[in-house]
Structure 1
């Protein structure tokens, strides 16, 4: 099993419903459509996330493979191992916020808020 998150550039949606609409549109255009070069913001986010992942998992960076394999244009789709999803998804949401990106959980259909623990 895995846990998925979608992260994208854009204005923070006002609520989960709006987030779902934006997610569906972007996923269809960028993940199911023609692959595009990731934007500089997505590249910077993926780099920062890969660094954090390596620290949090003591170098086991192979859990996600290449993050950029699932990045296209202004969107990246993250699939993480279920056993590590709690900590990793929280860090992914924090980093998205720091990079001015939107983080959305497509399984529960909720925007992923940042929790400072």
Structure 2
């Protein structure tokens, strides 16, 4: 089981319902067969996440220390959208860090499980 977050580069929606609409549009546009290189701000964000905890690659020994549910983490980024998962046993600390980093980076952070913006 994993816990997911969505982070995107763009204006902050006015409320949770608007944020869900934005996320659905971004997800439809930038996932599946429509993958694009991540924007510079999203790339920098991902680099800061993996500086905090190791990225996962095939055969990595860091699975026990990393909160990420897959890797390389940058593969979850497309254009202005970064939708990523954390292993459930480690998500609380990682989600707190990820949401605070998004805020200080000027990015929008959304919790798709609770369908709410994260401050």
C-alpha RMSD of the superposition: 1.9
Runs of 5+ unmatched residues, structure 2: 55-62
What TM-score comes out, normalization by structure 1 length?
Answer: 0.87
Q: Which has the higher helix share?
A: 1
Report SS of the residue matched to 1:78.
strand
Q: Mapping of 1:1-117 within 5 angstroms?
A: 1-54=1-54, 60=66, 63-113=69-119
Spell out structure 1 runs of 4+ moving beyond 3 A: 57-64
Report SS of the residue matched to 2:53.
helix
What TM-score comes out, normalization by structure 2 length?
Answer: 0.85
Runs of 5+ unmatched residues, structure 1: none
Checking the alignment, whether the CA contact within 8 Å between 1:50 and 1:61 is kept in structure 2 is no
